[in-house]
Structure 1
């Protein structure tokens, strides 16, 4: 920022005594949120919930899984509407497709479970 765009305000520095292991934990949490320690602590102190970059990765993973389910559902819909492109689909193919949908749902539930467990364990600290 140059002087013309710099916001003028009196900066206050808060001093908080912490143990070395607490300092390390705060630094790890700041890194997980992809923030500098000062910004992380300021945000937490103002009541903002820290979002981990892991949360974003899980959301992206859930979006990919959702896309997989959409594609699998599209194939099933083609078969159910007797689309000519699915003439070669036999019962074994449909059973395999349904098994794949179920496995993909299980994957999605696993990711959601991990997110909820991670969130719950963070809340207990």
Structure 2
């Protein structure tokens, strides 16, 4: 099995603890790389980029959905001339504050993805 014209023929042996091995394996998996490839890239000065996790995409999509719904409510209330929603429980200033918080949360999730 293997490629007879392979250029990489020398091994580097490194002893690690079981915890270190697991940490390295998890970091490689986040980058969608095998451990040797991950370590080679690190050793040669490359910074392997993490692949985007499906859970982070789901969280981001949920936040965007929430933001869209809140924006729609704000637009409806402004068009109707209403001052609050949910039986006077939530006013327009509070809604604007929540939209701002959602935007910050989206920014944090997106920042964590890269």
Q: Same fold (TM over 0.5)?
A: yes
Work out the number of aligned pairs and report it: 104
Q: 1:19 is paired with a residue of what secondary structure?
A: coil
How far 1:49 sits from its partner (Å)? 3.3
Partner of 1:22: 20
TM-score (norm 2): 0.56
Cα root mean square deviation, aligned: 3.7
CA distance in 2, matches of 1:23, 1:15: 15
Q: Structure 1's 61 and 91: CA in aligned 2 closer, same or farther, altered over 3 A?
A: same
Q: Is the 8 A contact 2:67 2:102 kept in 1?
A: no
Higher relative contact order (Cα pairs below 8 Å, separated by 6+ residues): 2
Alpha carbons 2:71, 2:99 under 8 Å: kept: no
- Mapped partners of 2:34, 2:102: distance in 1: 33
Give 1 or 2: higher helix fraction. 1
Q: List aligned pairs for 1:96-115, cutoff 5 A.
A: 96=90, 98=92, 99=94, 102-103=97-98, 105-106=100-101, 109=104, 112=108
